[in-house]
Chains A and B, each alone.
Chain A
Amino acid sequence: MKLITAILKPFKLDDVKNALQAHGINGMTVSEASGFGRQKGHTEVYRGAEYTVDLVPKVRLEVLVDDSEANSVVDVIVKAASTGSIGDGKVWTTPVDQIVRVRTGERGVDAI
């Protein structure tokens, strides 16, 4: 089992979510995040004083999948999230030891 974590541009969230649902993924967790990579930040001006804001708003999307699906789901996310410009984000996978569904107590792949 794998946890797929994707950092996305906030305005691409709907595209990614729709692509995942079309791919048969029916559960995910989304949270607001901020950070920077090569994109760096931006400049804001208040009464002539310039501030460099280096943490840019992003969303973090997390999906649990079976090992066999991991690569294809990552591809779906990357395809839907890409604009080709700097700051598009990153996607990575992490091995998961155990998953438990809180309501039923199901464990492992059955709980995905």
Chain B
Amino acid sequence: MEATVLNSGDTAWMLASTALVLLMTPGLAFFYGGMVRTKSVLNMMMMSMVTIGIVSILWVIYGFELAFGYKGNSPWFGSFSLSGLGSQVNAFTNNGGVYPIPLLVFAAFQLMFAIITPALISGAIADRTKFTAWAIFVAIWTTIVYFPVAHWVFAFGNKVGDKTTGTGYLAGKGLEDFAGGTAVHINAGAAGLALAIILGKRVGWRKEAMRPHSLPLVLLGSGLLWFGWFGFNAGSALAANGLAGLAFMNTQVATAGALIGWILVEKIRNGHATSLGAASGAVAGLVAITPACAFVAPWAAVVIGFIAGILCSLAVGMKYKFGFDDSLDVVGVHLVGGIWGSLAIGFFGTHIVNSVGIDGLFYGGGSALLGKQALGVGMVAGYSFIVTLILGFIIEKTIGFRIPRDAEIEGIDLSEHAETAYEMTSSSRGGSF
């Protein structure tokens, strides 16, 4: 057997991609922060920031091993190990085969996915969540939901010769999820729905106006997300190759299609194309193409994105019908967009663009792939929703998940962080120690 030689081009691209994916979480903080009211923007952004802190530490201690370790040889979770990533500095990545990039680079890349997934949930429970309760939730949820689900979907096992150990359940079943439509977006969307139900509605929901306080911040955030998403999707090729190029192009054109789809719905339905609609449409397109980006042709990516824009712009109205306060539409954008993108592979998937890809319905491959995709969607959504509901209920009954009503009305920035985001008038300046 030939010895693996490090590929510096691949490694350089993966290091860059890793930094791109990290940037998505501060980008998300802007995207969400602009959508809430003046009195809760700092709390909204802090929910993302603290996630970077917590998940990074857990990842080093046991998270990476629990998600990607193969020694446990289980389809449901990785290895229980407290190695602290200390013994693997010179190892190569082996995930269903050897990649000529250092294992630590792969571990850092996957860490960024583990960070943004819980951060995405925070949009469902804006303006009202006790900060310590959120921090505890993030630590436990990441451990019992994200790490195992990442193993099901992303762990292709340690392959030596013809023998592969520790392959995740859905990866082994042939689920096609290139960058995390199930493990990231459906996972976060289903958890967001569960928490919105546990925490209940904000004071004044559907009675008073809860307008986004800064649409320029939302647009800035969507731009950073779009930029970082090239690392998320094209980086998931784990190499600087043609597959990365395909994922890169599909990411761009699906997002463009969704942006147009969303504002088209608005123009026809409400009479105006809005900036919030353009930003939301872009994110819906990014979500939908995430699982499909390396399995479909670019023309199909446009169609998948365009339909995602239309579908998600209609889905965000569901919360009013069903009466749950998913404040920033984590369900309407990430759950719905993630389900659509994951199922769309069952129609548009083709081996023509990816040698390991399977043909979907439109390419004469029958419904077998669609069935595998549906299994992945159902398992991840079901597991995430039920476990989050139980975890949320326990936190609510023990330490409490919500801040007091008066604090919520006065503003969570002040009550939870002792800060205000903006100096609104000249008369509010000054003060003394």
Contacts and interface: CB of A to CB of B under 8 A. Distances in A.
B328 to A, nearest CB: 9
A48 B317 contact: yes
B277 A47 contact: yes
Interface stretch (B122-130, B238-246, B265-273, B405-413): B265-273
**Which residue, A46, A50, A53, has most C-beta atoms of chain B within 10 A?**
A46
B274 A45 contact: yes
A45 B270 contact: yes
B276 interface: yes
Contact of A48 (B209, B211, B212, B270): B270
Interface in B267-287: 269-270, 272, 274, 276-277, 280
A49 B320 contact: yes
* Chain A contact residues: helix, strand, loop or mixed: strand
A48 B321 CA distance: 13
B329 interface: yes
Contacts of B211: 44, 46, 51
A47 B280 contact: yes
Interface in A30-70: 44-53
Chain B interface: which size bin?
10 to 19
Contacts of B270: 45, 48, 50
B313 interface: yes
Contacts of B280: 47
Contacts of B269: 48
A50 to B, nearest CB: 8
B139 interface: no
B353 interface: no
Nearest to B425: A32
B316 interface: yes
**Which residue, A47, A49, A50, A51, has most C-beta atoms of chain B within 10 A?**
A47
Contact of A47 (B209, B272, B329): B329
A40 to B, nearest CB: 15
A50 B272 CA distance: 12
Nearest to B274: A45
B212 A46 contact: yes
B209 A45 contact: no
Interface in B204-233: 209, 211-212
Contacts of B274: 45-46
A47 B270 CA distance: 10
A14 to B, nearest CB: 22
A47 to B, nearest CB: 5
Contacts of B212: 46
Contacts of A46: 211-212, 274, 276
Given A45-B274, A47-B277, 17 more contacts: A44-B211, A45-B272, A46-B211, A46-B212, A46-B274, A47-B276, A47-B313, A47-B316, A47-B329, A48-B266, A48-B270, A48-B313, A48-B316, A49-B317, A49-B320, A50-B270, A53-B209
Interface of B: 209, 211-212, 266, 269-270, 272, 274, 276-277, 280, 313, 316-317, 320, 329
Closest 3 CB pairs of A and B: A51-B209, A45-B270, A47-B316
23 contacts: A45-B266, A45-B270, A45-B272, A45-B274, A46-B211, A46-B274, A46-B276, A47-B276, A47-B280, A47-B313, A47-B316, A48-B266, A48-B269, A48-B270, A48-B313, A48-B317, A49-B317, A49-B320, A50-B270, A51-B209, A51-B211, A52-B209, A53-B209
